[in-house]
Amino acid sequence: VRLGYDLCPQEQEFLSKRKRQVAQAMKRVLQLDYDLQDHEVPVVAVMTTGGGTRSYTATFGCMRGLKKLDFLDCVTYLSSLSGTSWAMAQIYKDPYWSQKDLDDKISEAKKQVTKNKMEMFTMERMKYYYQQLNQRKQDGQKTTFIDLWGLIIEYLLNDGKDNHRLSDEREALIDGQNPLPIYVTMNVKEKYSTEDFKEWIEFTPYEVGSLKYGAFVHPENFGSEFFMGQLIKQLPESRMCYLHGDVLRYSGISHYLFSIVDEDPYLPSRPHEIRSHMYVPAGKLSNRIREVLTDRLSVAQYHNFLKGFQLHNQYLENNNFQRWKDTVLDHCPNQLTEYEDYLGLVDAGFFINTSGPPLLRPQRNVDVIVHLSYTAEKACKYYADQGIPFPNVVLAEEDKKHLKECYYFNESEAPGCPILVFFPLVNDTFQHHKAPGEKRCSETEMAEGNVDLSSWKTPYSTYCLRYSDEDFDKLVNLSEYNILNNQHLIFQALRSAIEKKRKSHHKN
């Protein structure tokens, strides 16, 4: 276990390589007639939020829009959770994805999103689930319902078994050729809701770690057994599909998938979990699968790599201990995470639908955040409560009723406060324009702009796992259009960040 709040040496080396790429890209996209000095190059992050198949699909459109603006080469970090993490993992299978167009990846995503989902419960598939869960248990992992859900996600996103692992994504960073992906989840405790207790956990291809404790392990060792920081028993690295299960938001999707058939196998829930049913055909196989699973419904359990650490009895007075203000359990030494045998991981959507906390670590010095989200105001309040510098996102009542495609926030002069470019997922001018500056004319073109995101009839509800070809294309095209139609605000953020960096350097 690596202890410390600094970035690991691998990430620091990546940043050095990435900065050179970013400097050249910013000169190109902003049409500068001079080279940026190291101290002038801002750190740009794209921060996504979850939403199952909807966020999975929209992410591809947003990435294609950013690619067309030549903006991806300006980005240092991409953070994700829930459905956006599904998209990121698919994209990062290609070590040079941001150097190519995304049409092939979007075509593959469309194939998976529009396919028949009922095959996930065929007898052949159920046998596969059982074999995989049994193997995971034999490997030494504590299998839970979330592992089963991870295998279902594997089916939803792929034609066959997906052996992709988080550590494989280092190949996409070796030359600094892509942004660094960060996947976000939370550690929770039994008998406490996420409102009362949660600890942010970040996953990168280099490390998995706790923001609060400043403790990190390599992805290959996450889930293995540790004691007092030493590796006791090495377990195989989990496949990415299992990590996808950890970062699923259950809001409604579970009710689509898990309903009563012949049996009524209720899985006991905790106060912070949504009660649900598990859909399995009656018979010996279903019983054997349940034997492999534990009684936890929506919490994935991994061996705790913090186990056995002893903090100083005055840890609360130690400025290095990153105590977050949203839990009172830190005042009780025997309630700290190092006393637990297992980490309990859930989707951050159980609390707040944001992947932002890892980006706001002061060590990452993020200057600009492109925020693809519905929840900027709620996230803003949370960061303010924690004392984390973040723009004061306040929308007028008129905007709340009719959201614009993009908002720009750069009012704060507080040190470390990033510039925010906020993209709600809305259908505004896309209704009347097929491309920026190009109005729709024909009846067919008008129909292509009719994207229902909010009514009770919307095809993009989080209950929905399967889209029609038309609905998939509409959401991808809308997401891309909103990015392209607001390039002036994105580029304005870059120029402002460069100027801020320059002024700060001169002051020092």
**β-bridge partners, 302:** 343
pLDDT tens figures, 184-207: 998 888 777 777 788 899 999 999
With a cut of 50, say whether residue 254 has pLDDT above it: no
CA 417 to chain centre: 21
How many angstroms separate the CA atoms of 359 and 372, rounded?
A: 14
Cα radius of gyration rounded to whole Å, the chain: 23
Catalytic residue among 55, 79, 80, 82: 82
How many angstroms separate the CA atoms of 305 and 295, rounded?
A: 22
Res. 277 pLDDT band, cuts 50 70 90? very low
468 in Cβ contact with 114 (< 8 Å): yes
With a cut of 60, say whether residue 248 has pLDDT above it: no
Q: Kindly report the backbone phi and psi dihedral angles of residue 315, in degrees, each rounded to the nearest multiple of 5, phi listed first.
A: -60, -30
With a cut of 80, say whether residue 315 has pLDDT above it: no
Say which DSSP state 7 is in: P
Number of structural domains (the chain) is 1
Catalytic residue among 330, 347, 367, 471: 347
Res. 426 pLDDT band, cuts 50 70 90? very high
Q: Note the pLDDT of residue 118.
A: 85
Q: Kindly report the backbone phi and psi dihedral angles of residue 437, in degrees, each rounded to the nearest multiple of 5, phi listed first.
A: 85, 0
With a cut of 80, say whether residue 29 has pLDDT above it: yes
> Which residue, 161, 114, 120, is CA-closest to 465?
114
C-alpha dist (Å) from residue 394 to 50, 343, 409: 21, 36, 10
Question: At residue 88, what is the residue type?
Answer: M
How many angstroms separate the CA atoms of 496 and 287, rounded?
A: 60
Of 307-311, 324-328, 364-368, 442-446, give the lowest mean pLDDT range.
324-328
Computed over every residue of the chain, the mean pLDDT equals: 85
How many angstroms separate the CA atoms of 500 and 470, rounded?
A: 44
- 401-415 burial: b if 16+ Cβ within 10 Å, else e: eebbbbbbbbeeeee
217 in Cβ contact with 368 (< 8 Å): no
Q: Is 82 a catalytic residue?
A: yes
Query: Does 262 or 366 have the greater pLDDT score?
Result: 366
pLDDT tens figures, 65-91: 999 999 999 999 999 988 899 999 999
Would you state the structure tokens that stand for residue 292, as one six-digit string? 């492999």
Say which CATH number the domain at 66 has.
3.40.1090.10
Query: Across the chain, which distance is largest between two alpha carbons, in Å?
Result: 73
59 in Cβ contact with 84 (< 8 Å): yes
33 in Cβ contact with 244 (< 8 Å): no
Q: Which domain holds residue 305?
A: 2-507
pLDDT tens figures, 104-142: 999 999 999 999 988 888 899 999 999 999 999 999 998
C-alpha dist (Å) from residue 358 to 7, 24, 214: 11, 26, 12
Half-sphere exposure of 207 (CA within 13 A, CB side): 22
pLDDT tens figures, 447-491: 999 999 988 889 998 778 899 999 999 999 999 999 999 999 999
Instruction: Say how many C-beta atoms besides its own lie within 10 A of residue 308's C-beta.
Output: 15
Best mean pLDDT range from 248-252, 260-264, 279-283: 279-283
3-state secondary structure of 136: helix
Instruction: Say how many C-beta atoms besides its own lie within 10 A of residue 205's C-beta.
Output: 24
Res. 398 pLDDT band, cuts 50 70 90? confident
pLDDT tens figures, 84-93: 999 999 999 9
Locate tokens 């259950």: which residue?
Answer: 250
pLDDT tens figures, 340-394: 899 988 887 767 778 889 999 999 999 999 999 755 667 777 888 888 888 888 7
Instruction: Say how many C-beta atoms besides its own lie within 10 A of residue 27's C-beta.
Output: 15
Which residues does 173 contact at the CB level (< 8 Å), separation at least 6?
Answer: 14, 180, 205
184 in Cβ contact with 348 (< 8 Å): yes
How many angstroms separate the CA atoms of 456 and 415, rounded?
A: 43
In this prediction, residues 150-162 reach a mean pLDDT of: 91
